[in-house]
Structure 1
Amino acid sequence: MSLKKRVCIYCGSKTGNNGSFTTKTKKLGHMLAANNIGLVYGGGSVGLMNEIANATLNRGGQVHGVIPQHLYDMEVAHEQLTALHITDTMHERKAMMAELSDAFIALPGGFGTFEELMEAITWKQLGIQHKTVILFNIEGYYDKLINFIDHSVDNGFITEQNRASLKIAENVDQCLSHLPFFNP
C-alpha cells in the first residue's frame, strides 16, 4: 500500500523530564503508521526523535530521516530507517525535511525544535509553503509559548488569521484531525 502523505515531526534530541512526552510521542508514531502516514524527522537516534522513529517503524511505518553530515559523523544517526538522507548543512536539512513533508507537527523540544516550528509557521505566513503546522502541546509543555503568541496578537505583531493558522493539539487524535489529508 502506498503512503497517503508524510508528516514532518520536530522534537527534542532529549526525552525530557516527563514520561508523558515519550508515551505520547510513541503513540503518535504508532498512529502515523496505522494510518499509512509516513514520518519525516531529523534522523537522530536520541531523545524523542528516536522514540517517534522507532514507534513508527515498529508498527510497519515508513520513516525518512534527514541529518547533516556533522551530526552523522558524531554517530547520532538512526541507521534502521526506510531512508536516511545526509545533507551538508542544517539549512539543507530543514529544506529537505520540508520538501519531503505534507504537514508539520512540533512536539516538546528545545531551541532547535522552537526554531524549526517558528520557521515553518513563518513560511506559511509568508506564503512560501501552505502546509498545516501543528503544535502538539503534550501535558501543557507549550502553554507559555501559546500565551506569548496570543500576547503578540493582542499587541498587533501577529494577525488573528496568522494565529489561527497555527493549529494546537492536546492529544494524538487532535494532531491527526488537524491534518487535512487524514481520513480514518
Structure 2
Amino acid sequence: MSMFSSATNTFTAKVGVFCGARAGVSDDHITLGHDFGLALAARGAGLVYGAGGTGVMHAVARGVFDGGSAVTGVVPHELREREKSLEVRGEIFVVKDMHARKALMYRLSDAFAVLPGGLGTLDELMEVATWNQLRFHCKPLVLVNRDGFYDPLIALLDHLVGAGFIGAEERALIQDTDDVEDALDLLGCRPRYSPEEKASNLAFSS
C-alpha cells in the first residue's frame, strides 16, 4: 500500500522509527538500523525517533545523518542522561514524560517503521496500530522483519484474528517485510528511482 496521493502529489516526508535503545545480542540489529537509516535518507525522507544515543536507535539516526537527511528526536526530560540524548545530533525536543514523547512522535510522523526492540518498541507499535484502528490517524505501519525477528509477534497477531479478537482489516493495519526497500515502499516514501531512471537501469542490465 502506497500513501502517495495523486491529489497532493506528495510522498511520506518523515518516518517515525520505533526500535531499541539496546543493541541486542546480535550485531545484525545495529547493521539493520544503519542500513535502514541510509535507505531512508536516500529516499529523501527524514527521521523521527526517540533521540537515543545508544543501540538500534542510534544506528538508525547515524545512518540517516550519513545519508544527509534530517533527524528529529523526542525525549522525556528524565531520560536524557540514561538514553544519552545529550550526544545526539539533529533537532531534539525535550518533553515532560513518555506520553508527551509518543504523542509528539505520532504527530510529527507521516508513517511508522518498527525495527528490533523491547517493551518500549512493542508499546509504541501497539499504540500506533490502535490509533489506526480507532481512526485517530491513518498512517502506514510496517514491521521490518529481517531474519524472522518478529515472526513470533506476527504469529500472535494471526492467532488473535483466528480467535476473533482482531478483524482481518485491523490485522492488515500492521504490514511486514524482511526487506528495507520494500518497507520504504510500503511506508509511502519517494521511489528509490524515478520512472526514467528505472527504465534506464533495466535497459542497461539487459
Give TM-score, length-normalised by structure 2: 0.84
Aligned to 1:5: 13
Indicate conservation of the 8 Å contact 1:42/1:49, yes or no: yes
149, 160, 168: which one aligns with 2:176: 168
Indicate conservation of the 8 Å contact 1:63/1:83, yes or no: yes
| Per-residue Cα deviation, 1:80-101 (whole angstroms, up to 9, x for no partner) | 4220000001000000001110
Aligned residues: 182
77, 80, 85: which one aligns with 1:69: 77
User: What code does the residue aligned with 1:96 have?
Assistant: L
Q: Does 1:41 align with 2:49?
A: yes
Q: For residues 157 and 109 of structure 1, what CA distance do their matches in structure 2 show?
A: 25
Q: CA deviation at 1:79?
A: 3.8
Q: Does 1:93 align with 2:101?
A: yes
Aligned to 1:119: 127
Aligned to 2:34: 26
Q: Which 10-residue stretch deviates more, 53-62 or 79-88?
A: 79-88
155, 177, 180: which one aligns with 2:188: 180
Structure 1: which 5+ runs fail to align? none
Indicate how the Cα distance of structure 1 residues 58 and 181 shifts in structure 2: closer, same or farther if over 3 A, else same.
closer
Q: For residues 18 and 74 of structure 1, what CA distance do their matches in structure 2 show?
A: 22
Give TM-score, length-normalised by structure 1: 0.94
Percent sequence identity over aligned pairs: 38
Q: Which has the larger radius of gyration?
A: 2
Q: CA deviation at 1:6?
A: 0.2
Q: CA deviation at 1:24?
A: 1.5
| Per-residue Cα deviation, 1:91-120 (whole angstroms, up to 9, x for no partner) | 000000011100001111000000000000
User: What code does the residue aligned with 1:57 have?
Assistant: F
Q: For residues 180 and 138 of structure 1, what CA distance do their matches in structure 2 show?
A: 19
Q: For residues 73 and 20 of structure 1, what CA distance do their matches in structure 2 show?
A: 26
User: What code does the residue aligned with 1:149 have?
Assistant: L
